[in-house]
């Protein structure tokens, strides 16, 4: 077990180092920092509820940056290893295919965590500065716990998407098909709660739609409901945090989802030919 | 060391086209301490054999034994040094990063990785460039870096796919002498090459493949004798022009 972890961490370190030296990722980080600093100018245009609008802006920038990272770096990772035949150099070592998938996931996840850590530190400084600059009536509440909970939510969503990308990268060859399928998956995840809510309102009137409603509920097991992990509205609100048990269930589901998708990714990758 | 028994392999079909078998009923073996040269034109099946040994692909039929186990036992690669045909590395890494990765996955201690890395990087003339990104290396330097990676863990078996590819005459002579040294140390070596003179100089046994079929297995001199030619190279050309199996 220790040897397995050592091999996974050796590959994760390689992926992390490669990512840290990539100019494109450095550019993405600089862009994200510039956008977050831009919040200092953005809040000046908001007539009221500055706290909520600013925290919304900061978290949305973070989500967008994570999204770009996943779909332009994460999606390419496995496909480019195969296209450039880097995979032959890596798997020529005593590394199983499953360890390769987990090492790649861990390396990209480490980059993602680092990116989120930098942005969350910068974000909190920006929000505290804005709070200091405006009258209390415009920014009365700032919940530190809610702020960090929101970041955990973002990281959890990103890790789920990364696990999905790993699975699709094993199933399909080439980065463009993986990008398309992963984007479709994300679109379904985002759209499903809206459809379910709309159908729920209609189902009250038409009993025949109950079956469809149940089917949509079951689809959440494959297409997770990201709204469960979205806490950004609570940062500048006086509302209490959700129940600890609810938070634990949501994050527990996230871990199970990531674990299941990674297991499937390892299983698929174990069986395929690397032509 | 290596035992191929009646191995068949075909690649997956494209739509509406049947792909011919890349390997047809291939059997050969490599004994400990032997050097086997695999030769054949492009598409003969040399790289397919190597990919099967490294478990990058799996056979459709037949059995492969590698160091007393099967290639899908990934731990066996701890005892193998593999040199791919084209050296490709993650773009932003250095030779040292790749050597450390190799040492870590082979369960080597940090001090052992350091000393082995220094030894091979100096031997292959890359010590000064060890911290430069591998993407800035010339093709020959990348090939030598790959050699250092393959040899880091002192493997018993070396699998070399076109080891002289991309090397200038001096680099080629250096690699030839290195393979000669490794052979003298008693390492088992399987390599494929298009340069028949190199094969003739280094190998104990040659395996001739043509369009996925085995045409000959035995010492180079035996091939010349069988084809009634003066040299191994002439014997090989004659055999391939005939294009029929000898058995």
Question: DSSP string covering A142-197, please?
Answer: --HHHHHHHHHHHHHHHHHHHHHHHHHHHHSSSHHHHHHHHHHHHHHHHHHHHHHH
Environment class of B110 (CB within 10 Å of its CB; exposed 0-12, middle 13-18, buried 19+): exposed
Could you give the dihedral angle defined by the CA atoms of residues B124, B126, B130 and B133, in that order, rounded to the nearest 10 degrees? -110
- The CB density around residue A187, as the number of other CB atoms within 10 Å, is 11
Residues 6+ apart with CB under 8 A from A275: B11, B12, B56, B57
- Judged by CB atoms closer than 8 Å, whether chains meet at B86 and A15 is answered as no
Please tell me if residue A247 touches chain B, with a CB cutoff of 8 Å.
Answer: no
Which residue on chain B is closest to A23 by alpha carbon? Answer: B92
Rounded CA separation A218/A222 (Å): 8
Pair B143, B115: CB distance under 8 Å: no
pLDDT digits (tens, 9 = 90+) for B184-204: 998 999 988 888 888 888 889
- Judged by CB atoms closer than 8 Å, whether chains meet at A93 and B102 is answered as yes
Q: How far is B94 from chain A (nearest CA, A)?
A: 9
Q: How far is B103 from chain A (nearest CA, A)?
A: 9
Residue numbers in B near A1 (CB within 8 A): none
Distances (CA, A) of A52 to A89, A139, B114, B236: 50, 8, 54, 79
- Judged by CB atoms closer than 8 Å, whether chains meet at B91 and A22 is answered as yes
Residue numbers in A near B12 (CB within 8 A): 273, 275
Of A86, A89, A273, nearest to B57 by CB-CB distance is A273
Which residue on chain B is closest to A83 by alpha carbon? Answer: B88
Environment class of B14 (CB within 10 Å of its CB; exposed 0-12, middle 13-18, buried 19+): exposed
Rounded CA separation B74/B224 (Å): 39
Longest dimension (CA), chain A: 64
Rounded CA separation A90/A59 (Å): 37
Residues 6+ apart with CB under 8 A from B31: B1, B188
- Judged by CB atoms closer than 8 Å, whether chains meet at B105 and A18 is answered as no
Which residues of B touch chain A, with CB atoms under 8 Å apart? Answer: 11-12, 51, 54-58, 74-78, 80, 82, 84, 86-93, 97-98, 100-102, 104-107, 133, 146, 149-150
Provide the pLDDT for residue B244.
Answer: 54
- Judged by CB atoms closer than 8 Å, whether chains meet at A6 and B57 is answered as no
Residue numbers in B near A96 (CB within 8 A): 74
- Judged by CB atoms closer than 8 Å, whether chains meet at B92 and A22 is answered as yes
Of B11, B84, B150, nearest to A85 by CB-CB distance is B84
ipTM of the complex: 0.88
- Judged by CB atoms closer than 8 Å, whether chains meet at B77 and A273 is answered as no
pTM, to two decimals: 0.89
Provide the pLDDT for residue B143.
Answer: 87
Distances (CA, A) of B78 to A83, B5, B71, B106, B241: 25, 23, 12, 6, 40
Of A81, A87, A273, nearest to B58 by CB-CB distance is A273
Strands (E), B57-212: 61-66, 80-83, 157-161, 188-192, 205-210
Pair B46, B39: CB distance under 8 Å: yes
Environment class of B111 (CB within 10 Å of its CB; exposed 0-12, middle 13-18, buried 19+): exposed
Of B78, B84, B100, nearest to A88 by CB-CB distance is B84
| Positions in chain B short of pLDDT 50 | 246-247
Residues 6+ apart with CB under 8 A from A28: A65, A68, A69, A115
Per-residue pLDDT of chain A (275 residues; tens, 9 = 90+): 888 899 999 999 999 999 999 888 889 999 999 988 887 887 777 777 888 888 888 889 999 999 999 998 889 888 888 888 888 989 999 999 999 999 999 999 999 999 999 999 998 898 888 888 877 777 777 778 888 888 999 999 999 999 999 999 988 888 899 999 999 999 998 888 888 888 777 766 666 677 777 888 888 888 888 888 888 777 777 777 788 888 888 889 899 999 999 999 999 998 888 87
Residue numbers in B near A90 (CB within 8 A): 101
Residue numbers in A near B52 (CB within 8 A): none
């Amino acid at each position: 077990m220790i040897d397995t972890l050592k091999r996974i961490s050796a590959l994760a370190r390689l992926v992390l180092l490669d990512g840290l030296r990539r100019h494109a990722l450095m550019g993405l980080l600089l862009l994200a920092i510039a956008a977050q600093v831009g919040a200092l100018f953005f809040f000046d245009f908001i007539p009221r509820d500055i706290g909520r609008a600013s925290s919304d802006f900061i978290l949305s920038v973070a989500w967008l940056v994570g999204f770009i990272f996943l779909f332009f770096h994460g999606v390419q990772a496995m496909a480019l290893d195969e296209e450039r035949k880097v995979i032959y150099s890596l798997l020529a070592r005593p590394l199983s295919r499953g360890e390769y998938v987990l090492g790649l996931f861990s390396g990209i996840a480490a980059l993602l965590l680092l990116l989120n850590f930098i942005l969350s530190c910068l974000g909190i400084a920006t929000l505290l500065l804005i709070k200091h600059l405006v009258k209390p009536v415009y920014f009365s509440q700032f919940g530190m716990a809610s702020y960090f909970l929101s970041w955990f939510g973002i990281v959890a969503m990103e890790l789920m998407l990364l696990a999905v990308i790993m699975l699709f990268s094993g199933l399909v060859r080439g980065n463009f098909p993986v990008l398309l399928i992963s984007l479709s998956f994300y679109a379904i995840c985002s759209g499903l709660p809206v459809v379910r809510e709309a159908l729920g309102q209609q189902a009250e009137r038409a009993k025949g739609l109950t079956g469809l409603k149940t089917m949509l509920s079951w689809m959440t097991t494959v297409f997770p409901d990201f709204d469960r992990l979205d806490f950004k509205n609570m940062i500048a609100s006086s509302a209490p945090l959700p129940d600890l048990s609810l938070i634990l269930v949501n994050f527990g589901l996230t871990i199970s989802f990531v674990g299941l998708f990674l297991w499937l990714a390892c299983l698929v990758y174990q069986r395929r030919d690397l032509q | 060391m290596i035992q191929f028994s009646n191995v068949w392999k075909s690649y997956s079909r494209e739509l509406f086209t049947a792909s011919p078998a890349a390997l047809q009923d291939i059997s050969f073996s490599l004994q400990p301490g032997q050097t086997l040269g695999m030769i054949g034109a492009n598409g003969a099946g040399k790289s397919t054999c190597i990919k099967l040994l490294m478990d990058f692909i799996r056979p459709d039929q037949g059995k492969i034994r590698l160091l007393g186990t099967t290639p899908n036992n990934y731990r066996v690669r701890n005892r193998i040094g593999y040199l791919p045909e084209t050296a490709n590395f993650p773009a932003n890494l250095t030779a040292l990063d790749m050597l450390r990765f190799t040492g870590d996955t082979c369960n080597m201690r940090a001090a052992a990785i350091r000393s082995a890395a220094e030894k091979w990087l100096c031997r292959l003339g890359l010590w000064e460039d060890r911290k430069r990104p591998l993407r800035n290396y010339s093709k020959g330097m990348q090939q030598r870096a790959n050699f250092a990676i393959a040899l880091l863990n002192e493997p018993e078996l070396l699998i070399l796919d076109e080891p002289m590819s991309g090397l200038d005459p001096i680099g080629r002579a250096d690699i030839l002498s290195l393979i000669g040294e490794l052979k003298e140390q008693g390492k088992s070596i399987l390599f494929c090459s298009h340069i028949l003179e190199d094969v003739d100089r280094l190998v104990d046994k040659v395996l001739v493949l043509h369009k996925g079929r085995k045409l000959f297995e035995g010492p180079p001199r035996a091939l010349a004798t069988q084809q009634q030619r003066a040299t191994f190279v002439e014997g090989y050309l004659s055999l391939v022009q005939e294009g029929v199996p000898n058995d």
